[in-house]
Amino acid sequence: MGNTFGHLFRITTFGESHGGGVGVVIDGCPPQIEIAAEDIQFELDRRRPGQSRITTPRKETDTCEIVSGMFQGKTLGTPITILVRNKDTRPQDYSEMAQVYRPSHADATYDAKYGIRNWQGGGRSSARETIGRVAAGAIAKKILQQAAGVEVIGYVKRIKTVEADIDPDQVTLAQVEANMVRCPNPETAEEMIDLIDQTRRDANSIGGVVECVARQVPKGLGAPVFDKLEAELAKAVMSLPACKGFEIGSGFAGTQLTGLEHNDEFYTDETGRIRTVTNRSGGIQGGISNGENIVLRAAFKPTATIGKPQKTVNQAGEATTLAAKGRHDPCVLPRAVPMVEAMVALVLCDHLLRHHAQCELLTE
């Protein structure tokens, strides 16, 4: 339980950091979608370790195998299985962690819950699990693009206290990919990279904020009450490793405005489409997309695993000190960008299908 996400476009991820590999089964994918392994690999490469000097040095090509669900380059409508083998594993780096709990990591809670744990590299709690999400997200993006021209673009908005000024309505993927920190503002990007470099040298870690925009989202996606679009997005994004906060549109800052200041007035544009003048709603009203850009932000804490020595206890509860030897990211933000995009795409794709089923059966 808990390893499946989505109601109609439904993914199940599997695998641990060390062991046979990680991957995903995608059920409910529409048939006849052309997908090349390169489409998936492009996104996996944005996520993979070792892609730059500011990410973990673990060497993984994360080459994906499509095990099932495709035929002659097209989806069959049956489950698509994507498998990535673990290659550059170094269990010996983690032998100390078989006994000692890393502070603010999942070691102690996994032991408390299951009474057993694959201590090699974090096991199931490793960010390696997100390979399956990113691979599935690549397919979701393709469907969204094909069905409605939707594009989903994430980027680093803030590293620690260094915040970039970025216009979510205009930002492009090329701008995001133009530098290793994935901040589409080039000047701020340099500052961020310097800060991460410094942090790495200090054997410490830092966090920040990823912002993500979805453009060209059709009106009407999302379901009232529990499956409000913002609630589904919140769960999706908050389920990523190290995520501690989520906000949509005006978010926490919006609580400091009055209703008169905060409300988005309606108008009708030149094409006759009902629009809003401002977008403090972040593209969602009453849990349902209103056709404006969906804009959300996610807070990622500083990486828990750090090289600096910290006080902790071992499984027996005895006090000890730990200085992590495993390879880890000084800052997860650059690699979190494709993860956030993937989760947003999965939610939108699922709700695109759900909306089509309920509201477009008899009205077409």
Nearest approach in angstroms of CB 132 to a copy of itself is: 9
- Does 50 bind a copy of itself (CB under 8 A)? Our answer is no
Alpha carbon distances (Å) from 161 to 55, 158, 175, 181: 19, 7, 21, 15
- Does 91 bind a copy of itself (CB under 8 A)? Our answer is no
Number of residues in contact with a copy of itself, rule: CB under 8 A?
Answer: 161
Nearest approach in angstroms of CB 174 to a copy of itself is: 27
| Residue choice 46, 47, 335, 354 for contact with a copy of itself (CB under 8 A) | 354
- Does 105 bind a copy of itself (CB under 8 A)? Our answer is yes
Hey, is 14 helix, strand or coil? strand
- Does 62 bind a copy of itself (CB under 8 A)? Our answer is no
Q: Are the beta carbons of 281 and 199 closer than 8 angstroms?
A: no
- Does 201 bind a copy of itself (CB under 8 A)? Our answer is no
Query: What is the β-pairing status of strands 208-215 and 288-289?
Result: unpaired
CA distance 177 to 46: 9
DSSP tag of 96:
G
Q: Which is nearer to a copy of itself, 109 or 172 (CB)?
A: 109
Query: What is the β-pairing status of strands 274-276 and 80-84?
Result: unpaired
| Residue choice 35, 243, 294, 336 for contact with a copy of itself (CB under 8 A) | 243
CA distance 243 to 282: 20
User: What residue numbers does the annotated binding site for FMN cover?
Assistant: 124-126, 286, 301-305, 327
Q: Which is nearer to a copy of itself, 10 or 335 (CB)?
A: 10
H or E element in which residue 104 lies: none
CA distance 210 to 159: 9
Site pattern 261..290 for a copy of itself (x: CB under 8 A) = xxxxxxxx---x-x-xx--xxx-xxxxxxx
Amino acid at 28: G
Binding to a copy of itself in span 5-34, by CB under 8 A: 5, 7-8, 10, 12-16, 19-23, 25, 27-33
User: What residue numbers does the annotated binding site cover?
Assistant: 47, 53, 124-126, 286, 301-305, 327
